[in-house]
Structure 1
């Protein structure tokens, strides 16, 4: 399947342009360090702790959700620093502990390096060494496709699930905690991956479709400088949507992604998945965490909620013109009616 992410790399706006010098440096390190990870993998078979996967449409609040749960201290997560070692995450986790964990800092030698993960992002990108990272470079290593999207039966057979589980286990062995990450590479085939990965627990973040479509339309312009280029995940219906108008593409991306996720998780055991709206989490974040801990049978989530605010400001504000919003809503309703 054609990769729009690679095909349109040079079309990105300046802030999202690839960094060739960084890519070259990481490639050099990968040649030296990836064999070490492969050797480490032989010591692991499956994660000891739960792996919590965050799914949902882009711009639905998945980054915020990961930041929120990471703030409880109950889970480990992929940081911007760890992502630089996506090809050797065990070493990356050890290096992060060495540099960033105050418990290993003699005389505050590295205190100037430490940062906190803040509740902010720019189209899923965060700042700071310990900021939340989408970890795409890690997940893509095990998949036959580059863009996150629906996988055929043949493509599923090519996913190296055993290696995924070994490397997640190696990360957990460093932090001794459950691991939480966005899993957009898995989200259109969740039933399959849930069966193959019994440690996987899924949080589905939903958001009001109108604000979701508005944010996705803005993301296209922010990322590519135009709303004419497809951005982010590809539902199974991508072949139908790829030649449609930008408004129809965005509406379909939202509608078909939400339906695909819901259809995949609805038959899983209740302790394997939790569905929540972005709006609800913003209004009652602590109550959400308590409910999640109960549903997932993970009391560690509620041991310390001191870093969790009573409420968070929602990003649901009108920013597009009335005409643009009406057009998006109409396209969504037309697609929805066509599926009934």
Structure 2
């Protein structure tokens, strides 16, 4: 939410009152296990990976219901814990689970972070907000009796803040061939806004070039976000950062989720396995236009991964284990 929006003070006041009630009901201490934050490229499969982890394991997460009840994330999590079974649906639309009790991004983050800003350190966050965020993650962990996991692409704009707030947290970056990401981003612009030039998802830190085509826009956007990951990984301990390629995940979701879980357990999380996932998830793949190919090549994004595996110097899960992924159309 824009920090100057006139309704923001009212929302914050409501949030403060409900936060006090949540503290009375669920306590105010932080999480006892390392949280897992999922971020990465937009339209790269972050939502599916998030849904798979929540289906396969006993974990704590912000339900999609928080998109309607963002003031009380712990109350929303408790309601879903009482009313619904563990999530098993993998349906979503542009990052939102179709089930209200399915894994959600958590609109409550928008009460503390302006979606138009990048946050480089904890000094930009009031101490009272920091305490509430830490308490919320701890509350949801206790409600679910499992470690907290959350996917939100806006985490890309506040990675350092999250790393400081939760010093033992892990970060999982979901990446995908930019040729596929680019086409999906262009489709999203047209479907959601009816305009190929409309900004969709995260704006690059330094904005866009002044004279550009949609293809150039999107190439800049993808390169900028990969550079954000590269910078962050070089700032924090590399042992806290994991990378997962969407194509490999779809080829073997059970193996890739267990690779994430193994790293999470090594960091100190107690993760209980619940159920098997499908053997594979299908991927739609089609060649990009010549305009996209030229723009992606200009920004070092084709052929993929090029030198990005070296530049994003974290643990690449499943690296070197190739397989054929079922593809559609």
For Structure 1 versus Structure 2, the TM-score category normalised by the shorter chain is 0.7 to 0.9
Q: 2:247 aligns with which of 267, 279, 294?
A: 279
What's 2:104 paired with? Answer: 133
What's 2:229 paired with? Answer: 261
What's 1:245 paired with? Answer: 213
Give the CA deviation at 1:45.
Answer: 3.3
| Distance in 2 (alpha carbons) for counterparts of 1:202 and 1:264 | 10
- Superposition map of 1:1-340 within 5 A: 35-41=17-23, 43-100=27-84, 116-135=87-106, 137-143=107-113, 145-147=114-116, 149-151=117-119, 156-158=124-126, 160-238=129-207, 240-241=208-209, 244-297=212-265, 301=271, 303-304=273-274, 306-315=275-284, 317-318=285-286, 325-336=289-300
Q: 1:124 to 1:36 in 2, by over 3 A?
A: closer
2:188 aligns to what SS in structure 1? helix
User: Unaligned 5+ residue runs, structure 1?
Assistant: 7-22, 102-114
2:56 aligns to what SS in structure 1? coil
- C-alpha offsets along residues 101-149 of structure 1, whole Å, 9 cap, x if unaligned? 5xxxxxxxxxxxxx944112221122122223222x2111112x134x5
After the TM superposition, which segments of 4 or more aligned residues of structure 1 sit over 6 Å from their partners?
Answer: 30-33
Q: Which has the higher helix share?
A: 1
Tell me, yes or no, if the aligned pair for 1:251 and 1:332 is still in contact at 8 Å. Answer: yes
Tell me, yes or no, if the aligned pair for 1:271 and 1:295 is still in contact at 8 Å. Answer: no
What's 1:104 paired with? Answer: none
Give the CA deviation at 1:153.
Answer: 5.8
Tell me, yes or no, if the aligned pair for 2:31 and 2:135 is still in contact at 8 Å. Answer: yes
Tell me, yes or no, if the aligned pair for 1:190 and 1:265 is still in contact at 8 Å. Answer: no
Q: 1:294 to 1:128 in 2, by over 3 A?
A: closer
Q: 1:273 to 1:152 in 2, by over 3 A?
A: closer
Give the CA deviation at 1:38.
Answer: 2.6
Give the CA deviation at 1:217.
Answer: 0.7
CA RMSD in angstroms, aligned pairs only: 3.1
- C-alpha offsets along residues 260-292 of structure 1, whole Å, 9 cap, x if unaligned? 112202453344221110001111222212222
- C-alpha offsets along residues 62-105 of structure 1, whole Å, 9 cap, x if unaligned? 0011011011132122222243222111222222233225xxxx
1:198 aligns to what SS in structure 2? coil
| Distance in 2 (alpha carbons) for counterparts of 1:301 and 1:209 | 32
- C-alpha offsets along residues 183-236 of structure 1, whole Å, 9 cap, x if unaligned? 333323423431331142110000001001011111111111111110111221
**Number of aligned residues:** 293
281-290 vs 149-158, which moves further = 149-158
Tell me, yes or no, if the aligned pair for 1:289 and 1:302 is still in contact at 8 Å. Answer: no
Q: 1:242 to 1:100 in 2, by over 3 A?
A: farther
| Distance in 1 (alpha carbons) for counterparts of 2:240 and 2:184 | 29
| Distance in 2 (alpha carbons) for counterparts of 1:228 and 1:2 | 22
Q: How high is the TM-score relative to the length of structure 2?
A: 0.78
| Distance in 2 (alpha carbons) for counterparts of 1:88 and 1:166 | 12
85-94 vs 50-59, which moves further = 85-94
Tell me, yes or no, if the aligned pair for 1:188 and 1:264 is still in contact at 8 Å. Answer: no
Q: How high is the TM-score relative to the length of structure 1?
A: 0.75
Tell me, yes or no, if the aligned pair for 1:54 and 1:62 is still in contact at 8 Å. Answer: yes
| Distance in 2 (alpha carbons) for counterparts of 1:125 and 1:245 | 28
Tell me, yes or no, if the aligned pair for 1:74 and 1:300 is still in contact at 8 Å. Answer: no
